[in-house]
Amino acid sequence: MSSANHTSSVLVIDDDNDLRYSLKRVLSTRQYEVLEAASGEEGLKMAEKHSPNVILLDNRMGGMSGMEALQHLRGINPNAMIILMTAYGTTQTTIEAMKFGAFDYIMKPFDLKKILALTESAMAASKDLDSSGQSDAAPSLSKEDIEGGIIGSSAAMQEVFKMIGQVAASDVTVMITGESGTGKELIARAIYQNSLRAQKPYIAVNCAAIPENLIESELFGHEKGSFTGATNQRIGKFELCDGGTIFLDEIGDMALTTQTKILRALQEGEIQRVGSSETLKVNVRMLAATNKPLEEMVREKTFREDLYYRLNVVRIQLPPLRERKEDVPSLIDFVLKRLARDSKVGGKTISPEAMALLNRYNWPGNVRELENLIYRSAVIAQGEKILIKDLPMEVVNATAGADPNAAAARKAESVPAGPCGSDFAEGIASGTESLGAESLSSKQASDLLGGLAEDPFDLVFKALLEKHGSNILEHAERAMIVRALEATKDKQVKAAEMLGISRATLRKRMDQYDLS
């Protein structure tokens, strides 16, 4: 294969001579190098020889079909952005096109402006992929990391690891607290695996997932005929776990009656099956977890005070992911390696731009959200790298505009200069067309901005709301794009970086607001 020339090349594979001619004319207006092939077989040879950035591929041609060509093209050049064109679209065709790695899918007949805009988006994605180069985050996880699943080099997580080491070898009861999705069960399993009971049973029970009328039977077992539906004797989790470790997750959701029996199991090492008067001795180490404020529940009499103190002998508090963002790259590496190991999605990396965006995100769903997001993005990514365009739009939108880490600093500082600071205020004050706001004097703008040090964007909101009353998001977004382009002297890459979006997204917004 020849060395790839990734300036701006487009390969059109279609057996319709007239369509190829029309596409070449319109694409040439953007200074693209346009290559042509009249069949799938010819297209494969052209792709191997020239390594185009973007490929426009017809689905129905004589000889090799577009879908067959698509699969071969992915092997020849996995980073090419392929747009499938067809006059015979079905749901299955669309699914297969995306499954085999198409960038997008368009129905014939199509407007030439639409195919041009789609090609430009694909070209921008191709350039983003090229610009990421070899600087992807290199996985640096050991086999133990991947198997254990607990990732974190931050100071907060190092304290957690120290605590695990301190309590593992004893039989002390441990309460693990933290927001949902922070990995409480992983900590419990790590305590168990490093304990003297590691060769004994380990059972995890999600108390919130079991109906209240069944939780006692699940934990302590029941006798035949003890209640409607009890057709056989059942051995409960405590009895099954004798000699081992039981982990009660979401223990704050447990009913008070069950709490009483848990307390007895802890204090006396005794349980009774439902419907039985026989007392059974059990030797079980208990670990518990919750994302609820147990201290508050104790005050409200919805959680037993004596059980709280019995469980809370040692507490391990897991920090939310937003407070240990330095661990985000390692966590992403871990998820990608695990996906590759499990053969779900193999060999994917993440571009520096996408990594930077995820480092700015606040992760309300914590590590669980990160795992789901990376899995979803790896599945969607058409090349070997996850790009910003592969991330969920709500995540991209949540990180656009300002770095959440700077929120505290903004409260303590005066209003920053630049597109979002005093220059922007003067833009609103002057009532420019790009900002679409009513005129205010410079002094009025300065006074108003000075009173909004916690969030200077309130100025934009107030001005646009007073002027337009609705659709203010579009006006504000257009204004921000204009100011970013002005600040960077129309350098789109720098403007996109300033706004926290990809260049492809910036181009779409420029087309939307007629800023081309």
For 94-132, the pLDDT digits (tens) are 666 776 778 888 888 888 888 899 999 888 888 777 665
What's the CA gap between 360 and 172, in Å, rounded?
Answer: 38
> Do 276 and 351 sit in the same domain of this protein?
no
The torsion defined by the Cα of 115, 507, 328 and 377, in degrees rounded to 10, comes to -10
> Do 373 and 459 sit in the same domain of this protein?
no
pLDDT greater at residue 516 or residue 448: 516
> Do 290 and 339 sit in the same domain of this protein?
no
- Model confidence at 486, pLDDT cuts 50, 70, 90, reads confident
- Model confidence at 185, pLDDT cuts 50, 70, 90, reads very high
Q: At what angle do helices 457-467 and 442-450 cross, to 10 degrees?
A: 130
> Do 183 and 118 sit in the same domain of this protein?
no
> Do 22 and 121 sit in the same domain of this protein?
yes
pLDDT greater at residue 432 or residue 291: 291
What's the CA gap between 217 and 223, in Å, rounded?
Answer: 9
> Do 119 and 181 sit in the same domain of this protein?
no
Is residue 118 in a domain? yes
Task: Out of 85-89, 368-372, 505-509, give the one with best mean pLDDT.
Answer: 368-372
Domain extent, residue 501, equals: 413-512
Is residue 271 in a domain? yes
> Do 428 and 391 sit in the same domain of this protein?
no
The torsion defined by the Cα of 58, 59, 60 and 65, in degrees rounded to 10, comes to 110
* For residue 408, pLDDT beyond 70: no
How many CB atoms are closer than 10 A to CB 413? Answer: 10
> Do 389 and 421 sit in the same domain of this protein?
no
CATH number at residue 107: 3.40.50.2300
Query: Among 250, 282, 317, where does a domain finish?
Result: 317
> Do 178 and 308 sit in the same domain of this protein?
yes
| Residue 189 in tokens | 């399993």
* Residue whose pair of structure tokens reads 């004798």 in the numeric block: 242
Listed residue (177, 236, 185, 220) closest to 206, CA to CA: 185
Is residue 405 in a domain? no
pLDDT greater at residue 452 or residue 47: 47
Q: Are strands 81-86 and 54-58 parallel, antiparallel or unpaired?
A: parallel
CATH number at residue 372: 1.10.8.60
- Number of compact structural domains in the chain: 4
Is residue 3 in a domain? no
**Which stretches of 361-456 are DSSP H helices?**
366-380, 393-399, 407-412, 422-430, 442-450
At CA 328, angle to CA 324 and CA 334, rounded to 5? 130
Is residue 307 in a domain? yes
* For residue 453, pLDDT beyond 50: no
Q: Output Rg (C-alpha) for the chain, integer angstroms.
A: 30
- Check residue 264 and give its pLDDT: 92
Query: Among 399, 427, 445, where does a domain finish?
Result: 399
> Do 179 and 269 sit in the same domain of this protein?
yes
**Coil, strand or helix: which one is 182?**
coil
What's the CA gap between 120 and 54, in Å, rounded?
Answer: 9
| Residue 168 in tokens | 């593992």
Share of the chain above pLDDT 90, in %: 38
> Do 277 and 359 sit in the same domain of this protein?
no
> Do 331 and 307 sit in the same domain of this protein?
no
Give the range among 173-182, 184-193, 366-375, 403-412 with minimum mean pLDDT: 403-412
Q: Are strands 385-386 and 285-290 parallel, antiparallel or unpaired?
A: unpaired
| Residue 171 in tokens | 């039989």
Give the range among 34-38, 129-133, 383-387, 482-486 with minimum mean pLDDT: 129-133
- Check residue 312 and give its pLDDT: 92
* Residue whose pair of structure tokens reads 């950035």 in the numeric block: 53
- Check residue 88 and give its pLDDT: 72
- Model confidence at 506, pLDDT cuts 50, 70, 90, reads confident
| Residue 188 in tokens | 């419990």
Is residue 148 in a domain? no
Give the range among 283-292, 298-307, 466-475 with minimum mean pLDDT: 466-475
- Check residue 128 and give its pLDDT: 72
Query: How many CA atoms, within 13 angstroms, populate the side-chain half-sphere of residue 194?
Result: 17
By the 8 A CB rule, do 104 and 382 touch?
A: no
Is residue 209 in a domain? yes
Query: What's the pTM?
Result: 0.59
Give the range among 4-13, 24-33, 228-237, 252-261 with minimum mean pLDDT: 4-13
CA distances (Å), origin 386, targets 82, 129, 378: 16, 9, 6
- Check residue 152 and give its pLDDT: 80
Query: Among 288, 317, 346, where does a domain finish?
Result: 317
